[in-house]
Amino acid sequence: MATFILIHGAWHGGWCWERVVPLLEKQGHCVLAPDLPGMGDDHTPLDKITLDVWARFVADLVLQQDEKVILVGHSRGGIVISQAAEYCAEKIENLVYLTAYLLPNKQTILKTLEQHPPRESDRLPKFIMSDDMRASVVESADVRDFFYNCTDAEWCDRAAARLCWEPVMSFSTPVKISEEKFGKIPRSYIECLQDKGIPISMQREMQSALPCERVITLDTDHSPFYSAPEQLAAGLIELAQSKKIVKRIS
């Protein structure tokens, strides 16, 4: 059985994995889905949060486990697991990027977005900024289209009510990774075809820049933990059991 640590993306908390965790645990796997500092129910002040704080928090959690872990990052969580890998590479079995930012050394999310301007048919969401301009949240009217366009309304509403402030530093801080540590860990990618948050074209360009040994394709939105939890759990279990696969699940 595997140990999974699931790292949420921007504006979310560990709660977003609530439909996936029971499915993995039912198959006998150990699963941790923490709130990153300052996110979800963790009340660390956002002005104390840096990418390194998040990465060391995750690395400490990895190092506490008895065996190697499968470290999964969703969306912005991709840069968190990449950075954490620098601090605990020896305890990571696989890095799994769930429609996530898989960035090369010294790259930022903001720079990646600037290099991939939206098509005319794409509409970026509107954001509300905090008074000190250090955090943002997606306007409620745009939440469904941006995150949950394939998700049942009940789950979309439940999730939308729990979104929180995201520190802007997460978009402007570069990852600092090396071939000696991050580069030695097997990587997998779970791409989502209907994703409006990170379009499939961007997902595949990131995979081309940093190839992954294993790829799973889901025909769903940016939030498969709500829109397709069974398929996502099945994909994660496949990754835990397989040495090398390229598989499509729809």
Residue of 12, 29, 74, 222 marked active site: 222
- Please give the order of strands across the beta sheet that includes 92-98: 30-32, 3-7, 69-74, 92-98, 187-192, 214-218, 246-249
Residue of 29, 35, 195, 221 marked active site: 195
Question: Exposure string (b/e) for 24-50, b if CB count within 10 Å is 16 or more?
Answer: beeeebebbbbbbbbbbeeeeebeebe
The question of whether 74 is a catalytic residue gets the answer no
The question of whether 43 is a catalytic residue gets the answer no
Half-sphere exposure of 64 (CA within 13 A, CB side): 9
Instruction: Output the DSSP codes for 157-189.
Output: HHHHTT---EETHHHHPPP---TTTGGGS-EEE
3-state secondary structure of 54: helix
The catalytic site residues sit at 195, 222
